[in-house]
Amino acid sequence: MQAIVVRYHGATHARSAYYTAHAQAGKIRVVAHLVPPNEGPRYVAKLFVKKVFFDAPDVDLLRGSLPNGDSVFVFDHLHSREG
């Protein structure tokens, strides 16, 4: 299992705002104005899953956060909830 870390990078005078999502399997960058309002990191994490794990069905992601403010997503599998 891999965790997907999503980070928001604010705009500067040379570059517009963007999100990055990365895991051991790869990395993507998404320009912030392409992300629907109020969906932010979750939308970017789902784009990452579709790009890197292209054969994966629409998956549920559990969200957490790191002390530095980054969002972390992991896959929610039914089997992981069994005792």
pLDDT by position in tens, the chain (length 83): 689 999 999 999 999 999 999 999 899 999 999 999 889 999 999 999 988 877 666 678 899 999 999 999 998 766 555 55
In the prediction, which pLDDT does 14 show? Answer: 92
Number of domains forming the structure of the chain: 1
Collapsing DSSP to helix, strand or coil, 14 comes out as coil
List the domain range (segments joined by +) for residue 66. 4-81
What per-residue confidence (pLDDT) applies to 75?
83
* Distant-in-sequence contacts of 69-72, Cβ < 8 A, 24+ apart: 70/5, 70/6, 70/7, 71/5, 71/6, 71/7, 71/40, 71/41, 71/42, 71/45, 72/3, 72/4, 72/5, 72/6
At 78 the pLDDT is: 60
